[in-house]
Structure 1
Amino acid sequence: MNNMIKSPMVRLINAEGEQAGIVSIEDANRLAHDAGLDLVEVAPNADPPVCRVMDYGKYKYQQAKKAQEGKKKQAQTQVKEMKFRPKIADHDFNFKMRKVLTFLEEHNRVKVSVQFRGREIAYKDSGRQLLERVAQEAEDLAVVVAMPKMEGRFMTMVLAPR
């Protein structure tokens, strides 16, 4: 930037973005100083290096703002978990199902688990039916990413928002 550029000749781009040709570094610095702007080396590996007349503070501000916008657009999705039991009552199922739908509306993935205790593990079909019922009730808001599978004493399924 400005007096830190070592090359004797540079390809200059003026403040309007037009090429001013190949000029000496002294002329480029003088042009930038007369305009009240900075001389910034944008392509140091080119032959000759490319320099641009610009307001460096404004340029850095715009770059930071672009980076911040990029971060905002990367929506942070989380994986929420809702645990059910194989013999869940209807009211409890509806209550938990409302919460699952809320998570999906907030664009979060939902890991739905059925926890088996004791001898319940012998009746895996009831857990699979429960997970299929959850998937059916959430089908307008979600798509099943991971089909129901056993993991120890849990049968799990993952839903992602549409």
Structure 2
Amino acid sequence: MALEEAMAAAKAAGMDLVEVNGNASPPVCRILDYERVRYDIRKRAKEQKKAVSAAQKRDVIKELRLTAKIDVHDLNVKINGAKKFLDAGNRVTFRIMFKNSDGIAQDKRATRGAEIMDNIISMLEDVEVVLKPKMVGANHMTCSLKRPTKK
């Protein structure tokens, strides 16, 4: 169809003549409402942005630090904070920091840290261990937990 005919047909329909593929011979055009197309593109971009934002929110990792000589009450406070984070859908990483002044020998730190981590895991009901307790360097032990996904 000639360009003038296509423009007249689009104008008669109250729509726009939009070039789809200008590299083809002859160029491919369509008669459509261009504002509607732009609206759909913006809507898809907004939905993708929302999905990315939700994915980022879901993958938040909260870290709780404690020392090897933590008191029972202080541990309960940390556990309550961890429960709030887990209920919000976040992952929780516990980090035990060992100090030279805490009286735990270098070779005993791994076993003492494992005992504390086992105590924490038993106090938190219905959790999934993402990263098992392990020593990170000589002075830190970490463990990551999350709520299991419901099917």
User: Per the shorter chain, which TM-score range?
Assistant: 0.7 to 0.9
* Cross-structure match for 1:84: 66
* Cross-structure match for 1:146: 131
* Cross-structure match for 2:120: 134
RMSD, aligned CA: 2.3
Give a deviation string over 1:35-90, Cα, whole Å, max 9, x none.
Answer: 22222233556666543322222321221122112222231222110012222222
Distance 2:6 2:95 in 1: 67
Aligned length: 139
Which structure 2 segments of 5+ residues have no match?
none
- What TM-score does the superposition give when structure 2 sets the normalisation length? 0.76
Q: Which amino acid aligns with 1:102?
A: K
Distance 1:44 1:136 in 2: 66
Point out the structure with the larger helix share: 2
SS for the counterpart of 2:40 is helix
Point out the structure with the larger strand share: 1
* Cross-structure match for 2:4: 26
Which structure 1 segments of 5+ residues have no match?
1-22
- 1:57 matched to 2:43? The reply is no
State the percentage of identical aligned residues: 38
* Cross-structure match for 2:90: 108
How far the C-alpha of 1:33 sits from its partner, in A, is: 1.9
Change (3 A) 1:114 1:39: same
